[in-house]
């Protein structure tokens, strides 16, 4: 199924459409993309300043391309269910019984992104990262389990497709979790080579008799175990996916090691090639199920998740060292991030968060997650920045760094904002607001330091649903009167956001068993 990718090839500079044109600092070049309505309020205020920043970033990127003969490489590492505060540099690590020396090193050599936000759960965050759009816009809002025909629509335009058209070699290794239908899998969504798991780690227990998790399938009616499970899949763009290993405890225990090794191999093969590369390594950790035998019992925490986090930390260190040894560190951006907060349903086999709430919540504990950006020689070391970033921003930022902004689709709303100057020059973040979606509906809105939970009105008045996140980061002291002045401005944000949805409606949910 071909994708519809409507793009402007020339800037629309007439006064009547200027609001739809985002001017970027590329000399003599502009591009048109539709961002969310509130963005334009801030663009009016900061546009001139952003243009100066873009000019400086253009110069840096041009110098890099002259030195290395190609655009910068981009590596995105997405972990599973790691809460804010788990890293040693955030007060966790050894004090939680699971040291993270390599991630701590990465943070010291780059930027600790303390204002990074995900979507509330795993599938939605992966949708947002791949498309630069809130999941509600794509029709894929829920976590996918076996038998669910939902998936990432082939009509969505992924960051892998955008960078592929800009000349990048692309790869995805790890947890995909964006649908069971093969048309939704990474090799049909822009990635040249893949080794991936279709689900999260839980479904192996669907058909494992006598397993201690979930239920004992020896006594479970066949009706509940009738779905065929896909194991570890491998494919190349344009080819057919094949199962290279079944889904069981053994393959889960070595899943991280295998996808890490493939990531290293991909980097080594493409380090000196004429084309830049984009690598998406989607870690399966932390999982409550299987631990690699070499790492079992390594953490003082005494949990599978603690052992796994130490294993993952080690692999991240090896990946960074490989990039350095190959002499491509100065031309390679690496961003490490979590997909959502801890899944306390499996406590103590879970991460933790310094904030209230966890996976599935729009509370800070569910969406305020750790993230690090590392780019030696480009990103100044020892930075701790708290400017707002949302996972969708990684989509548009990768497009900018890859010289592919003109590939962004303009027939839909793109939620991700371009943040290369924030990463490369430590300028203020261009994001001053976040819509926190809970499934198909907005659950909360953040504007600056203020946050409003969307709850039912009380007799025509708002309840105590307003929070000053700087003063109350755990959202324990909701107020009304103190922030009543913010009621109408928040309503304005919602109104403008919804008006744009009327113009660019959400996509109907895609089902792999029905032609779109």
Q: How far apart are CA 437 and CA 121, in angstroms?
A: 10
DSSP letter for 4, please. P
Could you tell me which residues are beta bridge partners of residue 22? 31
Look up 122 and say whether it is catalytic. Answer: yes
Q: How far apart are CA 41 and CA 27, in angstroms?
A: 24
Q: Out of 84, 134, 177, 497, which one is annotated catalytic?
A: 177
State the Cα angle at 87 between 85 and 90, rounded to 5°: 50
Distances (CA, A) of 258 to 188, 193, 289, 318: 22, 14, 17, 14
Which two three-digit tokens encode residue 355?
A: 């904030």
Could you tell me which residues are beta bridge partners of residue 415? none
- Find where tokens 């040894």 sit: 325
If 0-12 CB within 10 Å is exposed, 13-18 middle and 19+ buried, where does residue 283 land? buried
111 closest CA partner among 335, 428, 420: 335
- R_g over Cα of the chain: 22
Could you tell me which residues are beta bridge partners of residue 35? 414
Could you tell me which residues are beta bridge partners of residue 446? 434, 451
Look up 134 and say whether it is catalytic. Answer: no
Q: Out of 122, 134, 453, 497, which one is annotated catalytic?
A: 122
Q: How far apart are CA 233 and CA 196, in angstroms?
A: 5
Q: How far apart are CA 156 and CA 132, in angstroms?
A: 10
Q: How far apart are CA 424 and CA 54, in angstroms?
A: 11
- Find where tokens 């068993």 sit: 513
Which two three-digit tokens encode residue 147?
A: 């038998």
Cite the active site residues: 122, 177
């Amino acid at each position: 199924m071909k994708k519809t990718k409507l793009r402007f090839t020339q800037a629309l500079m007439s006064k009547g459409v200027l609001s739809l044109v985002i001017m970027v600092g590329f000399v003599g070049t502009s591009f048109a993309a539709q961002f969310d309505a509130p963005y334009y309020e801030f663009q009016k205020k900061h546009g001139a300043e952003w243009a100066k920043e873009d000019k400086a970033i253009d110069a840096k990127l041009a110098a890099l391309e002259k030195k290395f003969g190609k655009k910068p490489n981009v590596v995105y590492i997405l972990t599973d269910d790691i809460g804010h505060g788990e890293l040693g540099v955030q007060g966790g690590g050894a004090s939680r019984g699971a040291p993270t020396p390599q991630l701590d090193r990465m943070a010291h050599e780059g930027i600790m992104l303390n204002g990074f936000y995900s979507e509330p759960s795993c599938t939605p965050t992966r949708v947002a990262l791949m498309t630069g759009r809130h999941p509600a816009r794509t029709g894929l809002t829920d976590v996918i389990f076996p038998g669910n025909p939902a998936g990432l629509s082939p009509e969505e335009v992924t960051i892998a497709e955008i960078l592929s058209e800009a000349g990048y070699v692309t790869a995805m290794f790890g947890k995909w979790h964006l649908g069971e239908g093969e048309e939704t899998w990474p090799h049909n969504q822009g990635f040249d080579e893949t080794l991936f798991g279709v689900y999260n780690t839980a479904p192996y227990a669907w058909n494992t008799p006598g397993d201690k998790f979930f239920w004992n399938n020896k006594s479970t009616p066949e009706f509940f175990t009738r779905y065929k499970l896909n194991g570890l899949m491998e494919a190349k763009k344009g080819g057919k996916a094949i199962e290279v290993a079944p889904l069981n405890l053994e393959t889960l225990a070595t899943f991280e090691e295998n996808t890490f090794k493939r990531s290293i191999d991909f980097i080594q093969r493409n380090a000196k090639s004429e084309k830049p590369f984009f690598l998406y390594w989607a870690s399966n950790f932390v999982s409550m199920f299987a631990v690699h035998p070499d790492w079992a019992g390594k953490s003082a925490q005494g949990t599978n998740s603690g052992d796994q986090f130490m294993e993952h930390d080690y692999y991240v260190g090896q990946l960074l060292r490989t990039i350095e040894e190959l002499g491509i560190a100065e031309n390679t951006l690496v961003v490490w991030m979590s997909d959502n907060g801890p899944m306390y349903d499996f406590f103590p086999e879970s991460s933790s968060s310094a904030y209230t709430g966890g996976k599935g919540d729009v509370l800070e504990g569910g969406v305020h997650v750790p993230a690090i950006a590392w780019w030696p020689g480009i990103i100044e070391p020892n930075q701790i920045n708290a400017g707002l970033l949302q996972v969708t921003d990684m989509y548009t930022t990768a497009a900018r760094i890859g010289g592919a902004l003109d590939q962004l689709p303009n027939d839909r709303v793109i939620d991700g904002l371009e943040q290369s100057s924030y990463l490369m020059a430590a300028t203020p973040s261009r994001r001053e607001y976040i819509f926190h979606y809970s499934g198909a509906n907005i659950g909360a809105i953040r504007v600056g330091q203020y946050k409003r939970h969307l709850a039912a009105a009380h007799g025509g008045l708002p309840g105590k649903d307003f929070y000053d996140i700087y003063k109350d980061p755990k959202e324990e002291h909701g107020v009304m009167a103190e922030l009543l002045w913010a009621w109408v401005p928040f309503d304005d944000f919602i109104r403008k956001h919804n008006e744009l949805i009327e113009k660019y409606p959400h996509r109907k949910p895609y089902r792999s068993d029905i032609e779109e």
